Amino acid sequence: MRDRLCGEVTGRLLDAGVHGVQVNVADAAVAPAAGLRITTSERPADAVVSVWVDSATIRFRRPVDDAIATVADAAAAYLVTESTPLPNTRFPAEPGARSTGFAQLAFLRRREDLPETEWLDIWLNDHTGVALDTQSTFLYVQNVVVRILTAGAAPWDAIVEEAFPADAMTDPHAFFDAVGDDERLDRHRQRMLHSVGRFVDLASIEVIPTSRYVMRPVPGAEASA
């Protein structure tokens, strides 16, 4: 799937006029991160293709859907607003090549007891700092789902992408920015778990470790190596 997504599918998407293409796929390179994978739905994602378009209305989106359909039995599409509190300046992606480390995708539902405005405030204005302070991320992207575009898609409220060094696939100390320090590891892990529990429905969360391929960077979003 990776080769087809990064090859013929990307070609069709670019021919359709999208401004940017990124492929995240659970390929062999992230097999060591299997212990980080969390699934709660019947059909968790094996890959995510992000495209930047002028319009997501079905008339203009159809070529995108058709391209994805050539490799996927089933696919879900979401319109999102993207925020990047931590741009990747440490390991800039080389277009078409596998990016450094791995990218963890988290699919989130908000807690039912929280109004949307309060959920967004806790997540974006408070939790963001916790995530940046307690993990070894070098990229942090927050996508708020504005609209579900395809029938039958899982009702996610947000999709988060965090890039980590490769060692973080198997080493919690590396993941939580606490190499060589058990007390710091425990402190960071507990702080992160407590913060997430304030706004995320933990019974429905999905976490998918992926390889990240920036096929066509969005101008100004991430400089190439």
Could you report the per-residue pLDDT of 66-112, keeping only the tens digit for each?
A: 999 999 989 999 999 999 999 999 999 999 999 999 999 999 999 99
Q: Which residue has the tokens 């080769």?
A: 3
Q: Which amino acid is at 62?
A: R
Q: What is the CATH number of domain 2-216?
A: 3.30.70.100
Per-residue CA distances from 137 to 23, 123, 207 (Å): 19, 17, 15
Residue 185: φ, ψ to 5°: -60, -50
Q: What is the CA radius of gyration of the chain?
A: 17
Q: What percent of the chain has pLDDT over 90?
A: 94
Q: In this predicted model, what pLDDT tens digit does every residue of 212-224 receive, in sequence order?
A: 999 999 976 665 4
Helix (H, G, I), strand (E, B) or coil at 47: strand
User: Rounded mean pLDDT of 126-142?
Assistant: 98
Sequence-distant (≥ 6) Cβ neighbours of residue 198 within 8 angstroms: 111, 122, 127
Domain ranges of the chain: 2-216
Residue 225, pLDDT > 70, answer no
